[in-house]
Amino acid sequence: MRAGSDLAAIRERKPLVHQITNYVVMNETANATLALGALPVMAHAIEEVEEMASVAGALVLNIGTLSEHWIEAMLLAAKSANVAGVPVVLDPVGAGATRLRTETAKRILDEAEIAVVRGNAAEVATLAGREAEIRGVESIGAADSGAELAKAAASALGCVASVTGPVDHVSDGARTIAVANGDALLGTVSGTGCMSTAITGCFLAVASTPLEAGAEALVAFGVAGEDAAVGAKGPGSFHVALYDALYNLDPATLDLRAKAEG
């Protein structure tokens, strides 16, 4: 893990992070990406996604508000990214909540090469064929521990699994990293999971491996969450402070502040 130097690399190289994401969080993930130091671009038209994805540093797919043409666009973009060697992160928002979401996430995993799946325990468990319960897009519980689940999902899905929760776990099947950074207020703002996926995309554009990218992103986002919680009076002020904190993240101290093991 070299979260600090990879953050510095993001700020220096300003990778373009192409995001096909849901309507609810587009502004939020664009602003989180920009505050961290990368360049977000949102483009979902079937006519342009291949062109945009092929020149990006990373592609972020998020199924939070699906419909037919968006699914087609995600598949086209992912295949174009694969051909161009651009890493792809998938956020399977609400997998397990409806058949459309579960099947779409599985289809993307089947038809394209995904570097990292970043989701909550219930979403990842659904895709890995493990027991879990979801209410809407919120994980209510999963049979496995986070570490077990991340490892099993990485093996089952053939990519890095990044399972976020009170403690996050990122695994490539062989190695599993636990990240304990963050703050409970992250759970009170809609779209913080989606933001962590966007930030995973930023780190994928510069990191050595998808495993490190996944863990470094959660360290950076978690540390920003810790900073944002200082003085926050609730979800509104925390949300605002989160962008300030991402912008002010210090590469020199980031690894010292990481609560990562494994």
**Which residues contact a copy of itself by CB under 8 A?**
14, 16, 18, 22-28, 30-31, 34-35, 39-48, 51-52, 56, 64-69, 94, 97-101, 135-138, 188-191, 233-237, 239-248
- Nearer to a copy of itself (CB atom), residue 102 or residue 171: 102
Please give the single-letter amino acid code of residue 231: G
Whole-number minimum distance, CB 246 to a copy of itself, in Å?
8
Whole-number minimum distance, CB 262 to a copy of itself, in Å?
31
- d(Cα 38, Cα 249) in Å, to the nearest integer? 13
- Nearer to a copy of itself (CB atom), residue 15 or residue 214: 15
For 100-155, the DSSP string reads HHHHHHHHHHHHS--SEEEEEHHHHHHHHT--EEEETTEEEEESS-HHHHHHHHHH
- d(Cα 118, Cα 232) in Å, to the nearest integer? 27
Whole-number minimum distance, CB 261 to a copy of itself, in Å?
30
Nearest by Cα to 117 from 157, 58, 145: 157
Whole-number minimum distance, CB 245 to a copy of itself, in Å?
7
- Nearer to a copy of itself (CB atom), residue 89 or residue 150: 89
The three-point CA angle 197-203-209 to 5° equals 110
Nearest by Cα to 21 from 40, 47, 2: 40
Whole-number minimum distance, CB 206 to a copy of itself, in Å?
15
**105: CB partners within 8 A, 6+ apart:** 63, 90, 92, 95, 123, 126, 127
- Nearer to a copy of itself (CB atom), residue 126 or residue 171: 126
Block residue for tokens 């599985």: 106
Whole-number minimum distance, CB 19 to a copy of itself, in Å?
9
- Nearer to a copy of itself (CB atom), residue 152 or residue 241: 241
Please give the single-letter amino acid code of residue 78: A
Block residue for tokens 């990006």: 56
Whole-number minimum distance, CB 135 to a copy of itself, in Å?
5
- Nearer to a copy of itself (CB atom), residue 23 or residue 85: 23
Block residue for tokens 């043409």: 69
Q: Encoding tokens for residue 126?
A: 């659904």
- Nearer to a copy of itself (CB atom), residue 167 or residue 246: 246
17 φ/ψ angles, rounded to the nearest 5 degrees = -115, 105
Please give the single-letter amino acid code of residue 64: G
